């Protein structure tokens, strides 16, 4: 009995994984290989051509999603790292207040925030209307319905998920280590590059993971802020599933997206040296 106890204790989480991860994934894998339609039913035909067809038709949107996800993640890193650094090292006693302020907008629903950007950035809205009437901006200037708007929206919406892990990593850096670097005649740049940055890499790794994946798969920003050629793979999956009831294509696309993201993450993990990163993160 005693030996069984740990397994029994872990049972709920295994069941959770089984019911909410393994079963749906298996069902989705199965559906992705079926053919038919929603009225007459779908039957398993091991139709691997669902994958090739879907990829053939939607590879532009898939590549675009990876590009947008990548651009947004890059932008988040550039914006987020200094913010996290500043809060961790210069935040002083107000650290928790800064973090709270950072999170405050995210108490509002994701979709509502994105729609609000649509209002703010309207061609003749509160922001651009006056600028246009003063002649600062040309009359035809617009931000909505452009790639910039979509990538900007993604960057804004996922930013805290980049900042928080980096902050946690930086927060744990022992100040004595940095002091030691100075004692050993390191310049400020060298101390950052050779001590602080490597120690914060686990945070960066986690941040990139937590932002790149959802940003790439996101349908909301493209739909609300995008134009005629900003459709992302998430929008396609949604349309296939809800509008066309083409469950096989939707499942095949979801799996393809998942596979591409996993491969991407593995390559990225290899490049950063996972062993080190995971060890450091587990410390």
Binding site for other proteins (CB under 8 A): 26-27, 29-31, 33-34, 36-44, 46, 57, 60-61, 118-119, 122-125, 140, 142, 144-145, 223-224, 226-229, 231, 235-236, 239, 241-245, 247
Q: How far is the CB of 262 from other proteins (least distance, A)?
A: 19
Q: How far is the CB of 4 from other proteins (least distance, A)?
A: 17
Q: How far is the CB of 209 from other proteins (least distance, A)?
A: 27
Query: Of the two residues 78 and 245, which places its CB atom closer to other proteins in the complex?
Result: 245
Query: Of the two residues 202 and 226, which places its CB atom closer to other proteins in the complex?
Result: 226
Query: Of the two residues 85 and 247, which places its CB atom closer to other proteins in the complex?
Result: 247
Query: Of the two residues 27 and 103, which places its CB atom closer to other proteins in the complex?
Result: 27
In three-state secondary structure terms, 35 is strand
**Residues whose CB falls within 8 Å of the CB of residue 145, separated by 6 or more in sequence, listed in order:** 225, 226, 227, 228, 230
Q: What is the DSSP letter of 41?
A: E
Query: Of the two residues 217 and 272, which places its CB atom closer to other proteins in the complex?
Result: 217
Q: How far is the CB of 270 from other proteins (least distance, A)?
A: 19
Q: How far is the CB of 241 from other proteins (least distance, A)?
A: 6
Vertex 33, ends 28 and 37: CA angle to 5°? 90
- Cα distances (Å, whole numbers) of residue 145 to 154, 197, 264: 14, 37, 28
Query: Of the two residues 73 and 249, which places its CB atom closer to other proteins in the complex?
Result: 249
Query: Of the two residues 37 and 276, which places its CB atom closer to other proteins in the complex?
Result: 37
User: What's the CA gap between 8 and 14, in Å, rounded?
Assistant: 10
Query: Of the two residues 78 and 115, which places its CB atom closer to other proteins in the complex?
Result: 115
Number of Cβ within a 10 Å radius of residue 146: 16
Please, are residues 178 and 196 in contact by the beta-carbon 8 Å criterion? Answer: yes
User: What's the CA gap between 115 and 225, in Å, rounded?
Assistant: 8
**CA-based nearest residue to 144, from 238, 223, 236:** 223
For residue 54, report the phi and psi dihedrals to the nearest 5 degrees.
Answer: -60, -45
Please, are residues 18 and 4 in contact by the beta-carbon 8 Å criterion? Answer: no
The tokens for 98 are: 């800064």
Q: How far is the CB of 122 from other proteins (least distance, A)?
A: 5
In three-state secondary structure terms, 96 is helix
Q: How far is the CB of 27 from other proteins (least distance, A)?
A: 6
The tokens for 240 are: 């296939």
Q: How far is the CB of 156 from other proteins (least distance, A)?
A: 19
Please, are residues 82 and 136 in contact by the beta-carbon 8 Å criterion? Answer: no
């Amino acid at each position: 009995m005693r030996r069984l106890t740990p397994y029994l204790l872990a049972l709920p989480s295994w069941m959770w994984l089984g019911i909410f991860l393994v079963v749906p994934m298996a069902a989705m894998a199965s559906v992705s290989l079926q053919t038919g339609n929603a009225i007459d039913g779908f039957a398993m035909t091991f139709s691997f051509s669902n994958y090739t067809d879907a990829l053939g038709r939607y590879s532009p949107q898939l590549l675009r999603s990876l590009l947008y996800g990548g651009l947004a993640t890059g932008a988040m890193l550039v914006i987020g790292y200094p913010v996290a650094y500043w809060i961790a090292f210069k935040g002083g006693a107000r650290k928790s207040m800064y973090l709270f302020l950072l999170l405050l907008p995210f108490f509002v629903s994701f979709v509502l925030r994105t729609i609000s950007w649509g209002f703010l950035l309207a061609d003749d809205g509160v922001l651009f209307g006056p600028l246009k009437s003063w002649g600062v901006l040309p009359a035809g200037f617009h931000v909505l319905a452009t790639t910039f708007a979509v990538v900007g929206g993604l960057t804004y919406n996922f930013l805290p998920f980049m900042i928080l892990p980096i902050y946690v990593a930086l927060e744990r850096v022992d100040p004595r280590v940095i002091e030691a670097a100075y004692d050993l005649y390191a310049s400020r740049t060298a101390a950052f590059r050779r001590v602080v940055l490597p120690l914060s890499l686990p945070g960066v790794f986690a941040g990139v993971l937590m932002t790149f994946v959802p940003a790439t798969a996101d349908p909301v920003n493209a739909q609300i802020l995008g134009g005629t050629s900003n459709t992302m793979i998430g929008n396609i999956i949604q349309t296939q599933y809800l509008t066309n009831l083409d469950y096989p294509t939707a499942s095949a696309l979801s799996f393809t997206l998942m596979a591409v993201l996993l491969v991407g993450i593995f390559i990225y993990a290899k490049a950063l040296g996972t062993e080190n990163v995971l060890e450091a993160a587990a410390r």
